[in-house]
Amino acid sequence: AAGVIQSPRHLIKEKRETATLKCYPIPRHDTVYWYQQGPGQDPQFLISFYEKMQSDKGSIPDRFSAQQFSDYHSELNMSSLELGDSALYFCASSLRGRTSGELFFGEGSRLTVL
């Protein structure tokens, strides 16, 4: 079965550069979430989209922005990168209204800022 696809899997950038991460949710899932997980940390919620509209907003820095496109894929744009942005970025998708509340996560994009 198709899962959540994230790209790139690994990314190395330098301070003050920009980066874009992409996420392709499971087909027919209507909600996309972005989480950031630093080394030894729990996943921190950044932002989510439902039917291409921003749904919830968490601890996403102002330097980051995200959107969901008409084909339901989502992109997380990160500018003026800082060393502290080095982390594993997970995208997850779900079908709103499902009582299980299960989120299906992609394998993550590992960003390293030098």
Partner 1 sequence: RKEVEQDPGPFNVPEGATVAFNCTYSNSASQSFFWYRQDCRKEPKLLMSVYSSGNEDGRFTAQLNRASQYISLLIRDSKLSDSATYLCVVKFAGNMLTFGGGTRLMVKP
Handedness of CA 18, 64, 10, 5 (dihedral sign): negative
Site for partner 1 in 18-47 (CB under 8 A): 31, 33, 35, 41-45
Q: In the block, which residue shows the tokens 């950031």?
A: 36
d(C-alpha 88, C-alpha 84), whole Å: 12
Query: By C-beta, is 60 or 73 nearer to partner 1?
Result: 60
Query: By C-beta, is 33 or 113 nearer to partner 1?
Result: 33
Which residue of 26, 103, 111, 113 would you call a contact of partner 1, by CB under 8 A? Answer: 103
Give, in order, the Cα–Cα distances in Å from 83 to each of 86, 93, 113. 6, 28, 5
Task: Give, for 93, the enclosing helix (H) or strand (E).
Answer: strand 87-94
Site for partner 1 in 83-102 (CB under 8 A): 88, 90, 94, 96, 100-102
By the criterion CB under 8 A, which residues form the site for partner 1? 31, 33, 35, 41-45, 48, 50, 55-56, 58, 88, 90, 94, 96, 100-103, 105-108
